Structure formats: structure tokens, C-alpha cells
Amino acid sequence: REQDQLRASVVKEDTEEWQNDRSFTGLKRVGGVDLSYIKGDDTIACASLVVLSYPALEVLYEDCRMVDVSVPYVSGFLAFREVPFLVEAVQRLQKKKPRLKPQVLLVDGNGLLHHREFGVACHLGVLTDLPSIGVAKKLLQVDGLVNDELHREQIRSLQKEGDGFPLMGTSGRVLGMVSCGDCESSSRPLYISVGHKVCLETAVHLVKSCCRYRIPEPIRQVQKLGSWGRK
């Protein structure tokens, strides 16, 4: 019930002034969030948040806290296990350095590309009231989407063009976009989906503009921070 209530608040369109043009005039800060677990222990994790300047993609702020994860994992409800810690990280930033509050969050996970179209990126976006984008490295096989030979062939054809294709489920809804980014060295795609307060076209364009390597820089930096925090 709680997930259904929160899902009703998701905004799937652009809402911010900086989204009005493809140069993202007015966008100055992009955040990345991640929850990474201690190897071999799914009850201890590092909740991390970084804020990068845009378009320079220089780190402006870092926050990393070890947390005890007590909520059990249930398929389709991962956000209830992880999002509270990420919300706390955003709240700490707003309290300590409000001028560095990100204007958009890139989330290592899915948004509308989810069993009930309400993944971690949607959940976090609604609770923080921030535009958010889901960026996953693997296809979540929902609504008839399958990582089969046909899907892999579509990906192989994209690597020559550096383009993408929409992920349309059997329901007829577009749940996200496959993108190989703008990096020539990339041989594996990203699965980009709307989280909150952003349309899919804007989400894809922003993620590509944040890529120096395969993984967009806000997520790459937050994962580096999490790896350091777990040591």
C-alpha cells in the first residue's frame, strides 16, 4: 500500500528550468547515490552520496556512512531496504551545506524499469522531491523484457552507432532506454529509466553528458567512495 501511495506521486515529465534546453543551462550540481555492501555480508553497507559540478564534473561534496541494514530483501521492494539511508545522506547535506544541494540525482538502480514501475530511483526522488534518474548496468527482466539473443543482437548493432533503443514491455509502455553512451571504449550498455521529475529523453541526454567512461561520473565517483568507505 505504501509503495502504491508513493508511486502515485511520481512525475514523469521535466519540471525544472535547467531541463528546457539540451545544454542544460542552469544545471550546476549533479548528485550520485549508492548503497554498497560489505563482501559476504548483506547486513552491513556503505551509504554514499557525492555532488559533482556540472558540466566540469568535479567533486564538490562527499558523504559516506557505514549502516546496519535490517530490513530483509524482498523482490520488487528493494527501496524499503535501502532508500532510508540515502534519504538521510541527502538530509545531512541539506543541513551541513545547503548551497551544494544537487539539482538532480543519478541512482545506481532502476526507476520506472521495475516490476511495478517504482524502483529505487523513483522512491528516492519522491521522498527527497528531487529529479532523479535510474542508471543500471544489467537489464531487469520485467514486463516481458528478456536478455535473450535478440536483445543482445540489438545491443551489438548499437555499438557501431553509439545510439540507443527504447525498452518497451509487452504492456506497450516504454520503461526505459538502452544506451551505449558516447564512449568508444564502452562495450556494455546502460539501462536508463525515469525516476522522478524528468522525462526519458532528458534523462538519457543528461546521463550521456556525464560519461567520461562507461559509467556516468556521479555514479562512478560514488562507487569509488563506497569502496573506500568499506575498507
pLDDT digits (tens, 9 = 90+) for 12-59: 999 999 999 999 999 999 999 999 998 888 899 999 999 999 999 999
Return the CATH fold of 1-230: archaeoglobus fulgidus dsm 4304 fold (3.30.2170)
Please determine, for residue 186, whether its predicted confidence score (pLDDT) is greater than 80. no
| Per-residue pLDDT tens digits for 187-205 | 588 999 999 999 999 999 9
Confidence of residue 181 (pLDDT cuts 50, 70, 90): low
Residue spans of the domains in the chain: they are 1-230
- Asked if the model's pLDDT at residue 183 lies above 60, the reply is no
pLDDT in the model for residue 42: 85
pTM: 0.93
**Per-residue confidence at 162, pLDDT binned at 50, 70, 90?**
low
DSSP for the chain, please give it: -HHHHHHTT---S--SGGGGSTT-TT--EEEEEEEEEETTEEEEEEEEEEEEETTT--EEEEEEEEEE--SPP-TT-HHHHHHHHHHHHHHHHHHH-GGG--SSEEEES-SSSSTTS--HHHHHHHHHT--EEEEESS----TT---SHHHHHHHHHHTTTT-EEEEE-TTS-EEEEEE--S-TT--S-EEEEEEES--HHHHHHHHHHTBSSSSBHHHHHHHHHHHHHT-
- pLDDT band at residue 185 under the 50/70/90 scheme: very low
Mean per-residue pLDDT of the chain: 91
